[in-house]
Amino acid sequence: MISPELRRMIAVDAHRRRTGHCPTHIHALGTGESSEIAPRPDGFTDLATGAKIRCEPMLMSAGGFGTVSITLEGDVAFSGIETQSGQRFTGRAGGGTTVTIYQSDDYFQYAVVTPEQPLDRS
């Protein structure tokens, strides 16, 4: 199973790729853990671990947490593999406020806060 820290980083990266905006906060809906994220031009820093994540076109390097190959599919789906262990995952990130990652028979949901997104004034 992919570590909770790496899953959180994958959720941030998937949202960043879908919207073009990096979240500044992420909240794991299953565990209630919240983490802050510091956007960078080439990726982001996960402030809970101090890991500097570098995002390339189809690759996310998360330092000591691993390297992830990630592919966007259709409007909201994505899939990937943690390259060292070969662990696969799929997910959904449609540009809204949540990201869901599926691995094996389990799923992990995250709420993301992206201040750069325009406020709904309706």
Q: Which domains does the chain have, with CATH numbers?
A: 4-113 (3.30.700)
The model's pTM: 0.92
Whether the predicted pLDDT of 10 surpasses 80: yes
DSSP lists the bridge partners of residue 112 as 26
- 80-112 burial, b at 16+ Cβ within 10 Å, e below that, comes to bbbeeeebebebbbbeeeebbbebeeeebebbb
Q: For residue 122, is pLDDT > 60?
A: no
How sure is the predictor about 116, in pLDDT bands with cuts at 50, 70 and 90?
low
What pLDDT score was predicted for residue 115? 77
Residue-averaged pLDDT of the chain = 92
Taking only the tens place, the pLDDT of each residue in 44-97 is 999 999 999 999 999 999 989 999 999 999 999 999 999 999 999 999 998 789
> Which two three-digit tokens encode residue 121?
């004034």
